[in-house]
Amino acid sequence: MGTTSKRLESDNSESKLSCSVSHITGETGHNINGVHTYTKEVPSSNNGVSVNTPNKRFRDMSLEERLSYMEGRVSRESLDALRNSEKPIHGENHITYLGVSVGVVPKIVVNGISRMAPIATEEPSVVAAASCGAKFAERHGGFTVKVTGTETTGQIQVIDIPEDRTMNIEMMVRNESQNLINIANSASHSIVAAGGGAYNIRPKTLHTPSGVQMIIDFDVDCKNAMGANAVSKMAEAMAQRIEEITGGKVVGRILSNLPLGRLVSCEATFDKDSLAINKEANGKRIAISGEEMVERIIALSDWAEADQFRATTHNKGIMNGITAVALALGQDTRAIEAAAHSYAAYNRKYSPLSHFERDAEGNLHGSLVVPMPIGTVGGTISTNPVVKANLEITGCSDSVELAALMAAVGLAQNVSALRMLAGEGITNGHMPLHYLRVGNGSSGHNGNHSSK
């Protein structure tokens, strides 16, 4: 067995606070001059030479050193995929490929388990902010997450319903519920074989400008699949029988991208002392105590509760983290974004997805509720080796664990963004890394900004 020694820090581009990140189950920790150094046993490489990663911050390692750090966490096949990623199959009207950097949150504790989170984004400050947010929560046990289930809703639209059937039409559909469920499940053998399937037929009548419509909602337990195609296929399979029952015409047959059966509730306590800022920015000293920072973040949270303009930007900060993890893992980022913003307006008032308050010890307590339509089987996960490797990096064994991890990254990103906003401000915290990226590693932009 080779031994890998590492000191890992994540420089939060938004807060510019250097966070020492302790790492991964199996490591032992030491404190040297106030900096935590961690040692982890790592398997030997295939040629028999032990892997020895230098004692560096993760962000300061070379690409090969970072990949060597992954040994022991992912399979050799996945490691080779990360090193030698092949381009995907050509898409429709293909002309080229657009590469997106994949970084990692080196450690985020979710339900007592230390995980890594791959993040695909053009914006390096997202990785830095999520990493620091994870560190702020670590002293108080990390993130506690509950997932309600893996259910998605399908919908079937019926129009041109004969007038003599409109009075009893909902009862007629309910009486056929079991038959309709059997038809739906016959259309998706894979989900049924995994222990899932359709259930709970719910007809409703809508009075629209174009006339009376019946909408038949049905729930599908998708298990570890995202299930969009399967649910839509089930809706299509039921269409003929529904026309026979109602005498109407089926037009729309599709899933809903508001999966209330896939809500994720995430909470964490962020240490007030870790949230404090004492630094130089643009020639000025910024000193904000932990107690004052907690007050400021709560004030920002209250602002988002009262103002839709602010709530939209507040939620965008959460999705910066969630969507970037989703992209790295081959998920449907559009579905995830649509679900989140629809849920934010579920009570007819667009509101922030997260909430912050002070706990009894004066620390910052944050909570987040968000729907998470994701999967760990099917789609690009089974066809793209890099996506498969990224999923292995997370250590998540199913869609419930992955949903929990993604919500935790969202809340971690959120608290770091609010801390930066309450501290030195967006441009002072975010732009140095932005200039470093667009300047190809230059130390500033027009001499006015430092990348440090």
Has residue 138 got a pLDDT over 80? yes
- Angle at 145 (CA atoms; ends 303, 40), nearest 5 degrees: 115
The pLDDT value recorded for residue 220 is 98
Q: Measured on CA atoms in the order 323, 327, 329, 332, is the torsion positive or negative?
A: positive
Task: Please state, in angstroms and rounded to a whole number, the distance separating the CA atoms of residues 68 and 55.
Answer: 13
Residue 7 CB contacts under 8 Å (≥ 6 apart), including other chains: 20, 35, 36, 37, 38, 55, 56, 57
Task: Please state, in angstroms and rounded to a whole number, the distance separating the CA atoms of residues 272 and 80.
Answer: 42
Catalytic hit among 36, 279, 316, 445: 316
Percent of the chain predicted with pLDDT > 70? 80
The pLDDT value recorded for residue 54 is 55
Residue with tokens 């993130």: 143
- Angle at 448 (CA atoms; ends 444, 450), nearest 5 degrees: 40
> Number of C-alpha atoms within 13 angstroms, CB side, residue 343?
27
- Angle at 354 (CA atoms; ends 353, 355), nearest 5 degrees: 135
Query: For the chain, which domains are there?
Result: 63-86+97-148+262-438 (3.90.770.10), 161-247 (3.30.70.420)
Has residue 14 got a pLDDT over 50? no
Judge whether 381 and 329 are in contact, CB under 8 Å.
yes
Q: Which residues pair with 268 in a beta bridge?
A: 143, 366
Task: Please state, in angstroms and rounded to a whole number, the distance separating the CA atoms of residues 295 and 287.
Answer: 14
* 24 or 103: which leads in pLDDT: 103
Has residue 47 got a pLDDT over 90? no
Eight-class DSSP state of 262:
G
Interaxial angle between packed helices 63-70 and 76-83, expressed in degrees from 0 to 180 and rounded to the nearest 10: 160
The pLDDT value recorded for residue 74 is 84
Catalytic hit among 56, 65, 80, 123: 123
The pLDDT confidence band at residue 315, using thresholds 50, 70 and 90, is very high
The tens digit of pLDDT for each residue in 55-88 reads 777 777 887 888 888 787 788 888 887 777 655 5
The pLDDT value recorded for residue 88 is 54
Has residue 314 got a pLDDT over 90? yes
Residue with tokens 């890099």: 386
Has residue 440 got a pLDDT over 60? no
DSSP-derived pairing of the beta strands 151-159 and 211-221: antiparallel
The pLDDT value recorded for residue 258 is 98
Q: Decide if 123 is catalytic.
A: yes
Task: Give CA 135 to chain center in angstroms.
Answer: 17
Tokens of 444: 């500033």
Residue 296 CB contacts under 8 Å (≥ 6 apart), including other chains: 288, 422, 423
Mean pLDDT check: name the lowest of 90-104, 152-166, 330-344: 90-104
* Helices and strands of the chain, counted as H and E runs: 14, 17
Mean pLDDT check: name the lowest of 74-88, 205-219, 361-375, 414-428: 74-88
Task: Please state, in angstroms and rounded to a whole number, the distance separating the CA atoms of residues 375 and 216.
Answer: 25
pTM for the whole structure: 0.81
In our burial notation (b when 16+ CB lie closer than 10 A, e otherwise), range 391-412 reads bbbbbbeebbbbbbbbbbbbbb
Catalytic hit among 267, 332, 392, 401: 332
How far, CA to CA in Å, does 418 sit from each of 80, 325, 334, 386, 448? Answer: 38, 20, 24, 32, 24
Question: What strands, in cross-sheet order, belong to the sheet with 2-6?
Answer: 2-6, 35-42, 27-32
- What's the whole-number mean pLDDT along residues 295-303? 98
Q: Decide if 332 is catalytic.
A: yes
* 366 or 30: which leads in pLDDT: 366
Task: Give CA 305 to chain center in angstroms.
Answer: 22
Residue 167 CB contacts under 8 Å (≥ 6 apart), including other chains: none
Q: SS3 of 2, please?
A: strand
The pLDDT confidence band at residue 435, using thresholds 50, 70 and 90, is low
Tokens of 271: 């240490």
Task: Please state, in angstroms and rounded to a whole number, the distance separating the CA atoms of residues 396 and 113.
Answer: 10
The tens digit of pLDDT for each residue in 82-132 reads 777 655 555 677 656 778 899 999 999 999 999 999 999 998 899 999 999
Mean pLDDT estimate for the chain: 84
* 80 or 273: which leads in pLDDT: 273
Judge whether 191 and 237 are in contact, CB under 8 Å.
no
Tokens of 163: 């007038």
Task: Please state, in angstroms and rounded to a whole number, the distance separating the CA atoms of residues 420 and 414.
Answer: 10
Residue-level length of the chain: 452
Has residue 37 got a pLDDT over 60? no
Catalytic hit among 16, 40, 140, 430: 430
Judge whether 386 and 93 are in contact, CB under 8 Å.
no
Tokens of 209: 């400008």
DSSP-derived pairing of the beta strands 284-288 and 277-281: antiparallel
